[in-house]
Homo-oligomer: A and B are copies of this chain.
Amino acid sequence: MLASSVHYFSAAEFVDEALDRLIPAADVEPKRLHEAMRWSTFAGGKRFRPMLVFASGKLFGIKIPRLLNTAAAVEMMHTFSLIHDDLPAMDNDELRRGKPTCHIKFDEATAILAGDGLQTLAFKAISDDELLDASMRLRLVSELAAATGTPTGMVAGQQLDIEAEGREVDDMGLEAIHRAKTGALIRFSAIAGAIIGSADEAEFAAIERFADRLGLLFQITDDVLDATKSSEVLGKTAGKDAAMAKATYVSIHGVEEGKRIAEQTFNDARDAIASLGSRADDLVEIARMTLLRSS
């Protein structure tokens, strides 16, 4: 457990170094744009998705250097989505990870362009990654695009989420929103290591099932935290879901049942990769950290 924590800590540092290498420096023109991209990228994110790329790659014996651009790419894509989701026209959030959001710190035009530029850089980081062969890079670009865009990815999920505000949404509708909005990029992070590791069909299918459950678990625990924790602990505006009349697992099932569904979903995730044995321990650990997270 300790060794595992040390491993994760050092991996996060690798990711930060890669992001620093991939995003233009703050003294390169247009400086304000690059400052904004860096502001949001280095705002204290947990690097959850990069950790997932590392853990799934490790399962196939892949070392960090060959996973690094992909891990940084998925973090840039995630950051792009946060910047745009926080905009006044979307969720209108002024606080993220305890700091002013990008459009508050800079301005709306710069925030829109910072998000746009991070999406572009994510694709560039993978296409330029000379440690991976061409067909592997192409598959990663294509899968990342499917996880990011529409109709199956993050952009579609955000649209569905906005449209659902103030409307009745059932369990099925909620799962469809989150599968696209957060699930797709989590799935990509988990399968990226399998792609780079040349997983066989059975291994790939097991990791896909795991990733599907992990994405759901992530969202349920997010909803429970929003309903139960203070803004200070979360580093973002708490209680926002209820205030915006958003459908969540908590609004549909209540906090206690939400926690029970989370436990069950963790078990399902763990069972999905049981066939991979101890090689998948890091993935199970990530799912457990997700279940037990407090922010």
Interface residues in A264-292 by Cβ distance below 8 A to B read none
Sorting the interface of chain A by its residue count into under 10, 10 to 19, 20 to 34 or 35 or more gives 35 or more
Q: Is A28 an interface residue (CB 8 A)?
A: yes
Q: How far is the CB of A157 from chain B (nearest CB, A)?
A: 9
Considering only CB atoms, which chain B residue lies closest to A177 in the complex?
B30
A155 near B117 with CB under 8 A, answer yes
Chain A interface main SS type: helix
Question: Chain B residues with Cβ under 8 A from A145's Cβ?
Answer: 120-121, 123-124, 127
- Asked, given contacts A29-B151, A30-B156, A113-B155, whether A124 binds B108 with beta carbons under 8 Å apart, the answer is no
| A113 contact from B30, B107, B159, Cβ within 8 A | B159
A156 near B116 with CB under 8 A, answer no
| A141 contact from B29, B127, B146, B156, Cβ within 8 A | B127
Q: Is A135 an interface residue (CB 8 A)?
A: yes
Question: Chain B residues with Cβ under 8 A from A71's Cβ?
Answer: none
Question: Chain B residues with Cβ under 8 A from A123's Cβ?
Answer: 123, 141, 145
Q: Is A101 an interface residue (CB 8 A)?
A: no
Q: Is A112 an interface residue (CB 8 A)?
A: yes
Can you offer 21 A-B residue contacts whose CB atoms are under 8 A? Answer: A24-B150, A28-B151, A29-B160, A30-B156, A30-B160, A30-B163, A32-B159, A89-B108, A113-B159, A115-B116, A116-B116, A117-B150, A117-B156, A120-B155, A121-B149, A121-B150, A124-B146, A127-B138, A127-B141, A127-B145, A141-B141
Q: Report which A residues bind B (CB closer than 8 A).
A: 24, 28-30, 32-34, 37, 80, 84, 87, 89-90, 107-110, 112-113, 115-117, 119-121, 123-124, 127-128, 134-135, 137-138, 141-142, 145-146, 148-151, 153, 155-156, 158-160, 162-163
Lowest 10 CB-CB distances: which A-B pairs, in order? Answer: A120-B149, A89-B108, A124-B145, A134-B134, A30-B159, A127-B141, A33-B159, A127-B142, A117-B150, A117-B155
